[in-house]
Homo-oligomer: A and B are copies of this chain.
Amino acid sequence: MSGRPLDVLEASLQEPVTVNLKDGSAYYGTLAGYDQHMNVVLEPPAADEEEDVLGEIEVTPVEDTTIIRGDNVVTIKA
């Protein structure tokens, strides 16, 4: 669970993650891909995972395959 930032992303593939952006928004989904710029691809979370998130404020579960350009990212929580 520890290691370099990209190692953490690699270990989180197919797992739910929350991505917080510089504009204050947050995206929740299953990590489907990433690259060295921290561009990430999120897929809609599984139904049971989505349940947990609906209790949180301001986090948007993605509804489509969503590419997030890395330079917008503040944090990625695995």
Contact = CB atoms under 8 A, between A and B. Distances in A.
Contact of A69 (B65, B73, B77): B73
Contacts of A77: 62, 64-67
A52 B1 CA distance: 24
A32 B66 contact: no
Stoichiometry (number of copies): 7
Contacts of A32: 1-3, 8
Interface of A: 1-9, 21-23, 27, 32-35, 38-41, 43, 62, 64-78
A66 to B, nearest CB: 5
A5 B40 contact: yes
Nearest to A30: B2
